[in-house]
Amino acid sequence: MSWLQSRRCDVAFLPNIPPEDTHLYTIPLAPGQLVAFVSQDHEWAERRSVTIDEIVAQRIILREKGSRTRSIFEDAVNKAGYIIDDVMEISGREGVNEAVAAGFGVGIVAKSELLADSRLRALAISDADLEYSEFVACLNETRSLRVTDAFLEMVRTRQKEAD
């Protein structure tokens, strides 16, 4: 959000915007879901889902503290009454993917961010609500700029087509 406020960017994709923020014009995007993922050689590779209980018994590969994915997952683990004991922290989505593909543990990622990779298998997490929200946002005062307005119109049109 600081990039919008400092005008280093005109439009941003942001998670969980407070509804009381009157400085922003926002368009909500379809909610997303976090999933676990493992290497093609992992014992779970042929499964469709796992539970939080099963995941916390494994080494978990997560992004750095402060990442939205990590925060959502850690909240779900805490709500389920567990503590994560074995975490490998890696900066960046690509690094997490490579560590999981190499067999170092179980990763957690937004389903939409898990690119097609024959080395990886996605697994639903059956007993946790791991849904998140994202918004396209701009400052109210820059909303009427032609380029910003054109981009926002493209987003709105795409959403109508997807419905």
Please give the helix or strand (H or E) that residue 3 lies within, else none. Answer: helix 2-5
Number of domains the chain contains: 2
- Are 24 and 41 contained in the same domain? no
In this predicted model, what pLDDT tens digit does every residue of 64-106 receive, in sequence order? 988 888 999 999 999 999 999 899 999 888 999 999 999 999 9
- Which residues have a Cβ under 8 Å from the Cβ of 30 and sit 6 or more positions away? 159, 162
Q: What is the pLDDT along the chain (163 residues), one digit of tens a residue?
A: 678 888 899 999 887 776 777 889 999 888 889 999 999 999 999 999 999 999 999 999 999 988 888 999 999 999 999 999 899 999 888 999 999 999 999 999 989 888 889 999 999 999 998 998 889 999 999 999 999 999 999 999 988 887 7
Shared domain check, 88 and 52: yes
Give the length of the chain.
163
CATH number of domain containing 86? 3.40.190.10
Q: 45 and 11: one domain?
A: no
Start-to-end CA span in the chain (Å): 28
Q: Is residue 89 part of a domain?
A: yes
Q: Do 112 and 41 fall within a single domain? A: yes
d(CA 112, CA 128): 18
Domain that holds residue 120: 32-132
* Residues 23 and 93 grouped into a single domain: no
pLDDT for 6: 85
Q: Can you give the pLDDT at residue 81?
A: 94
Residue 69's H or E segment, with its range, is: helix 68-79
Percent of the chain with pLDDT over 90: 64
- Please tell me whether residues 115 and 126 are part of one structural domain: yes
Residue 100 falls inside a structural domain: yes
Determine the longest span between alpha carbons in the chain, in angstroms: 53
Residue 49 lies in a domain: yes
Domain-embedded: residue 163: no
81 and 119 housed in the same domain: yes
- Phi/psi of residue 114, each to 5°? -85, 100
